Amino acid sequence: MTKRLALVAANWKMNGTLKTIRPLVQEVIGGLKDDCHADIAICPPSIYLQELQTLLTGSRIGLGAQNASHLEAGAYTGEISVNMLKDYNCQYVIVGHSERREFYHETDDRVAEKFIRVSAAGMIPILCIGEQLSERESGETDTVIARQLDAVINMAGIDGFKDAVIAYEPVWAIGTGKTATPQQAQEVHAFIRLQLARHDDEVADKTRILYGGSVKPSNAADLFSMADIDGGLIGGASLVAADFLNICLAAG
Ligand code: PGA
């Protein structure tokens, strides 16, 4: 089995202003310990990508976006293309976050189109998948996860996952303070890896699968110690420098 390097990505969502993000980033850069070997990334609101690009210069923290258009360019008011994100040296783009699926009606197919667009532009998609509470309670978790994953595999091919990251984010755990137990998360992560392995063992072995949903300094180490959990996608706790730093440290 390949030893996968952990990735911890901050998803700031629609939070922060210039006034608050500057000290936050400076504190994170300043506090990042040499013995933290995980890959680290920050995904700010797109309007702050340029600011972050400047702030992160000379640090080892990567830059990511929270969303991108599935289209190349044109008359699509308010949208941001992958080429625009490339202009700011984005390395990662989150696609299919449950908030995009739920509030902006992104379908499995739309998410797959975005995934392909991001990869084709040479960036790493962080594909978010996860079940709702009602789906978990009715025993449909695996079905939902397989459906969300298959939509992308069918469109992008398994080779599309060679440079991709998956984030398992149970919707009921996002921003609720309710974290999946390490065992609950591990079970789904192993299932995701198995789904990839049905197509390609090597891709399954190498793909980083992050956990997201109320990761905090107090639960990060236990989650990250599970065999198939390769880091985290961090919302609320990434807005507090000390918390984010402790989570990064827990990732190895
Ligand atoms: P949370 O968000 O850490 O605030 O639960 C995670 C996410 O939505 O990526």
The rounded distance, in Å, linking the Cα atoms of 134 and 81 is 34
Active-site option among 106, 131, 135, 169: 169
For residue 61, what are its two tokens?
């923290």
- Determine whether the shortest distance from the Cβ of 236 to ligand 1 is under 6 A: yes
pLDDT score at 103: 97
pLDDT at residue number 2:
63
**H-type helices in the chain, by residue range?**
18-31, 49-56, 82-87, 98-103, 108-120, 133-137, 141-156, 182-197, 201-206, 217-224, 241-250
pLDDT at 1: 61
What local confidence, expressed as pLDDT, does residue 136 receive?
95
Our answer to whether residue 106 is catalytic in this structure is no
pLDDT score at 251? 97
Q: Is residue 96 within 6 Å of ligand 1 at its C-beta? A: no
pTM of the model: 0.97
How many angstroms separate the CA atoms of 5 and 28, rounded?
20
pLDDT tens, residue order, the chain (252 aa) = 667 999 999 999 999 999 999 999 999 999 998 889 999 999 999 999 999 999 999 999 999 999 999 999 999 999 999 999 999 999 999 999 999 999 999 999 999 999 999 999 999 999 999 999 999 999 999 999 999 999 999 999 999 999 999 999 999 999 888 888 999 999 999 999 999 999 999 999 999 999 999 999 999 999 999 999 999 999 999 999 999 999 999 999
Q: Which of 240, 204, 239, 247 is nearest to 222 (CA)?
A: 247
Q: Which of 92, 84, 20, 34 is nearest to 63 (CA)?
A: 92
* Whether the Cβ atoms of residue 65 and residue 80 lie closer than 8 Å to each other: yes
